[in-house]
Amino acid sequence: MSDWKNYSLIKKLLIGIAITLIALVSPELMIIMDFGGIELALSFLLLYFKPFIVWLEKQIQSITNILRLIKLTFERSSLIQQNVFLAHFTTSLLIMILSSSILISMSTILPALYLGGV
């Protein structure tokens, strides 16, 4: 960490305000700052938030895995293939015109959705 004296006034104010707000939640930070200075307080602050950072990284990894799975499912779906999509779309449109029922017309697409990866 660079020397505290080399920081600009704005950085000093922002760090001071952040530590003051965090000290409301963890008052032991003020004692650490009295004994060790701002550098030690910032170091302990990073240690204080380590479990939250680890939890956040796990959540981001979980979300990226879910998005990859969704993308892979769409890529392997049989509805993505042009001839399958065209046949189901034509059948669904024809049934929609003849019966005027969305439920019946969607029944032609549902098997392709359920059995897409098989």
Residues 9-23: pLDDT tens digits?
A: 898 888 888 877 877
pTM value is 0.49
Structure tokens at 97: 């015109």
HSE toward the beta carbon, residue 82, CA cutoff 13 A: 0
Calpha distance 86→76 (Å, rounded): 17
pLDDT > 60? residue 118: no
Calpha distance 29→95 (Å, rounded): 70
The answer to whether the Cα torsion of 55, 56, 61, 63 is positive or negative is: positive
pLDDT value of residue 20: 79
């029944």: which residue's tokens? 107
What value does the mean pLDDT take over residues 46-64? 91
pLDDT value of residue 54: 94
Length of the chain: 118
